[in-house]
């Protein structure tokens, strides 16, 4: 069995600070130390940005950071990281969610547009699917949903592309993040063949 087809070992690391505790992942045992360092640095940079989002309220803010590995197969790693900020000036906990998707062959971190072929209407296709799910699930939004952002947040879970929004971004729900799972088979015709979803499509 090719090594690239196996899950990549991931170690949980921890940052302990007066303001809280943050758990975050680091990939291990890659043949290329340069690629391993590149990927781990990218993850750590995302963790730092998440920390600053939570800490910006005031110095008394307390933060808890966690992560989940959503995909770890075929050389494609997709991770979500959350932090919850609480403090005396906050009426309720403030949650942030970010995702990190990379290919261990190259160390490249992907944005949404890079999953699709050039000059394809991926925004329109995905927006239509999200709108259909909003209507079917009878989700209450601030206004009629029209479109995702070109750089919409996402993660990959097996053969599913999951688009997500931050709390309060499109709806008034105080708990959780609005997520919209999309089977890659429903968008196979516009996927970039050598992109993360393209590599998972034909397995």
Domains, in order of start, for the chain: 1-109 (3.30.565.40), 111-203 (3.90.640.20)
* Residue 39 CA, distance from chain mean position: 15
Binned at pLDDT 50, 70 and 90, residue 62 comes out as confident
pLDDT value, residue 96: 87
Which residue did the predictor score with more confidence, 54 or 7? 7
pLDDT in tens, 85-132: 776 655 566 788 999 999 999 999 999 999 999 999 999 999 999 999
Asked if 184 contacts 201 with a C-beta cutoff of 8 angstroms, the reply is: yes
The vertex-170 CA angle with 192 and 197, nearest 5°, equals 15
DSSP labels for 48-95? HHHHHHHHTS-TT-EEEEEEEEEEEETTEEEEEEEEEEE-TT-SS-EE
Average confidence (pLDDT) over 72-95? 81
CA proximity to 46, closest of 74, 21, 65: 65
């Amino acid at each position: 069995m090719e090594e690239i087809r196996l899950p990549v070992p991931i170690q949980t690391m921890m940052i302990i600070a007066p303001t809280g505790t943050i758990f975050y992942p680091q990939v291990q045992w890659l043949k290329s130390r340069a690629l391993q360092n590149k990927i781990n640095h990218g993850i750590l940079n995302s963790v730092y940005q998440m920390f600053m989002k939570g800490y910006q309220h005031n110095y008394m803010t307390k933060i808890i950071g966690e992560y989940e590995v959503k995909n770890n197969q075929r050389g494609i790693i997709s991770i979500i990281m959350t932090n919850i900020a609480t403090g005396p000036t906050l009426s309720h906990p403030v949650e942030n969610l970010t995702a990190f998707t990379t290919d261990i062959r190259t160390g490249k971190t992907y944005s949404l547009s890079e999953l699709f072929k050039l000059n394809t209407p991926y925004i329109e296709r995905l927006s239509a699917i999200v709108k259909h799910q909003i209507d079917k699930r009878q989700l209450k939004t601030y206004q009629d949903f029209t479109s995702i952002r070109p750089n919409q947040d996402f993660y990959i879970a097996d053969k599913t592309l999951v688009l997500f929004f931050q709390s309060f971004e499109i709806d008034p729900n105080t708990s959780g993040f609005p997520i919209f799972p999309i089977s890659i088979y429903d968008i196979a015709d516009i996927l970039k063949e050598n992109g993360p979803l393209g590599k998972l499509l034909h397995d």
